[in-house]
């Protein structure tokens, strides 16, 4: 063994740890190099993290970006009102036009039906009326189309809003809830005007006019469609007063079945 060999052995003994450490670093570096170089390997590790972050971002987006987007849109609409109107006008116009066309079509069909049915008693009467009054038959038909029509009558206990009796040709409302809400609205309105003892007598809701006739223990709500004229209102009031005074009595209020029978009999074929 020469000097050089002895030195090599000594070197190996003294630098054993450093050598192992250098080897492990080299190994790790190689692994990292492989990971970076091979795209598949890299995406395998990064994709789940990205997906998780993306999901989180989508979930949080309404909260984080929502207010900003809303504000931006609001500001944009406010600053460019003309542009918005320009964009919406054709759409709205088309919708309104379509609706009017449909309504006119229905009206026209109804008028045609009436004109074609020229041998009915109703038609003869109209012809006679037209000649007598000088109003054209077409105008009379149009007037008939707009004629007010009673859709529903509800007799409601004052205060409690409990329905005593109801009559309608087509039942499509939850009477108990409607009666309760009508009473609540009535109570609120009457409470708000405390200067005099006043009653709420009329509510307008879209195409319906709700006439409220007040009595001491109950009130009658009549939902009317069509043209609710002052003449019709006056006639309706007379009818309701007549019904209250001459048709029903106090005991009927406690018997909803009897009340309903009388209400139906009185208003079923009633032309006001």
Binding stretches for another protein (CB under 8 A): 157-163, 174, 176-177, 179-181, 184, 187-188, 190-191, 255-257
Of 224, 236, 219, give the one whose Cα is nearest residue 156.
219
- The CB density around residue 137, as the number of other CB atoms within 10 Å, is 17
Q: With respect to another protein, which residue has the nearer C-beta, 125 or 188? A: 188
Q: With respect to another protein, which residue has the nearer C-beta, 163 or 221? A: 163
Least spacing, CB of residue 224 vs another protein, in Å: 23
Q: With respect to another protein, which residue has the nearer C-beta, 64 or 255? A: 255
Least spacing, CB of residue 251 vs another protein, in Å: 13
Least spacing, CB of residue 215 vs another protein, in Å: 14
Q: With respect to another protein, which residue has the nearer C-beta, 156 or 236? A: 156
Q: With respect to another protein, which residue has the nearer C-beta, 140 or 185? A: 185
Least spacing, CB of residue 200 vs another protein, in Å: 11
The CA-atom distances, in angstroms, between 68 and each of 18, 39, 79, 196 are: 58, 37, 16, 51
Q: With respect to another protein, which residue has the nearer C-beta, 246 or 254? A: 254
Contact residues for 1 (Cβ-Cβ < 8 A; gap 6+): none
CA distance 220 to 242: 13
Of 244, 236, 189, 191, give the one whose Cα is nearest residue 209.
236
Of 206, 209, 210, give the one whose Cα is nearest residue 183.
210
Asked whether the beta carbons of 214 and 231 are under 8 A apart, the reply is no
Least spacing, CB of residue 243 vs another protein, in Å: 22
CA distance 74 to 83: 13
Least spacing, CB of residue 184 vs another protein, in Å: 4
- The CB density around residue 258, as the number of other CB atoms within 10 Å, is 15
């Amino acid at each position: 063994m020469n000097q050089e060999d002895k030195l090599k052995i000594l070197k190996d003994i003294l630098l054993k740890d450093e050598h192992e450490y250098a080897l492990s670093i080299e190994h790790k570096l190689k692994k990292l190099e492989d990971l970076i170089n091979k795209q598949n390997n890299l995406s395998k590790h990064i994709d789940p993290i990205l997906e998780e972050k993306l999901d989180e971002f989508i979930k949080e987006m309404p909260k984080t970006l929502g207010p900003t987007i809303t504000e931006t849109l609001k500001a944009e609409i406010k600053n460019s009102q003309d542009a918005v109107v320009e964009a919406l006008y054709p759409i709205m116009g088309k919708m309104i036009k379509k609706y009017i066309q449909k309504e006119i079509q229905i009206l026209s069909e109804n008028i045609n039906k009436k004109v074609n049915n020229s041998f009915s008693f109703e038609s003869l009467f109209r012809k006679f009326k037209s000649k007598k009054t000088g109003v054209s038959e077409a105008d009379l038909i149009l007037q008939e189309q707009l004629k007010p029509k009673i859709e529903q009558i509800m007799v409601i206990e004052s205060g409690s809003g409990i329905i005593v009796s109801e009559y309608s040709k087509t039942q499509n409302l939850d009477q108990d809830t409607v009666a309760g809400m009508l009473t609540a609205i009535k109570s609120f309105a009457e409470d708000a005007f405390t200067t005099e003892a006043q009653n709420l007598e009329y509510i307008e809701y879209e195409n319906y006019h709700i006439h409220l006739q007040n009595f001491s223990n109950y009130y009658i709500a009549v939902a009317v469609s069509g043209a609710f004229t002052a003449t019709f209102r006056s006639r309706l009031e007379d009818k309701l007063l007549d019904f209250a005074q001459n048709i029903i009595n106090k005991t009927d209020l406690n018997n909803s079945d009897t009340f309903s029978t009388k209400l139906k009999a009185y208003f079923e074929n009633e032309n006001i």
